[in-house]
Each structure stands twice: as C-alpha cells, then as structure tokens.
Amino acid sequence: MAAKLSGPGGNGGKTIEQNSEINVTPFVDVMLVLLIIFMVAAPLATVSIRLDLPPPVPNPNDPNPKEPVYVTIQDSGSLFIADQQTTIETMAADVCTALGGGACREERVFIRAQPEVKYSQFMEVMNNLQENGFFQVGLLNEDIT
C-alpha cells in the first residue's frame, strides 16, 4: 500500500494518507512484452500444406480428358480399381493397367473410402501408391454405398 505525505496543516505539518491509485506501468510493460512474444510466435505455429489445385479453365488442347481412375476401399478391407477387385500387392500394376500404361505415374489417381474404413487401411493404400511412384493422388469424400 502506498502512502502520500500532505503539506503543512494540522498535526505538526505532516500527515499520512492512503493512496488508492493503482500503478499500471508494470502491468502495461508485461502486456507489451507478451504481445511482442505472441506476434513473433504466431507465424511460426502455422502449418503449410502444398496443394496442386486444378486450373480454373480446362485446357482447350485436350477436348477429351482421360477417364479418372478410382481406387475404392471398402469397410471389409477389399480394394477395387473401377469395378475390378485387386490386392495391396498388385494394386500399383493394376492402376498402371487401368491408366493405359506408358507414363501412368504422371496421371492423377483418386482414392475413395467408405466411412467405416480404418485410418490404417487408408494410409496403407496411400503409402503403397507413393512407394510405387504415384504422387498425384486425389481424395474423394462421397458416399459409395
């Protein structure tokens, strides 16, 4: 608690009164330091993911785009490429066959899964595609019942 000495007056010229004002200078100093810390730390906490977005206008030189290839994961663990059933071991070769061979690893492959599929099954398919050179993978969010 702070005290204030008053000027000449009763009781020998000196009296002590209570000072009820709050000293906010340390509070403001602490708040400014915290503000600077958060301003510096906030950009470091952001996570960036690289996305390859499709062009806003289709390529006019390609009048007939290729039919996309869908890898479907069912809740039972079965894998399908279009309507053909496959296994995790032969999936890369089957995807390449469905894409027509050649530079098949340059094409985009879509993965769709039923809602009951476990994350580990999905990641196994995704990792298998990446290990075999399929890096343009699209994810579909739709009901395939």
- Ranges in the chain annotated CATH 3.30.420.270: 69-140
Asked if residue 23 lies in contact with residue 34, where contact means CB atoms within 8 angstroms, the answer is no
pTM of the model: 0.54
69-140: CATH number: 3.30.420.270
- 68-117: per-residue pLDDT in tens? 888 999 888 889 998 889 998 998 888 888 887 777 777 888 998 888 88
Distance CA 70, CA 125 (A): 12
- 13-45: per-residue pLDDT in tens? 567 788 778 888 999 999 999 999 999 988 887
Asked if residue 19 lies in contact with residue 4, where contact means CB atoms within 8 angstroms, the answer is yes
Distance CA 22, CA 42 (A): 32
- pLDDT-derived band of residue 5, with 50, 70 and 90 as boundaries? low
- In this structure, which long-range contacts are made by residues 28-32, counting pairs with CB atoms below 8 Å and at least 24 apart in sequence? none
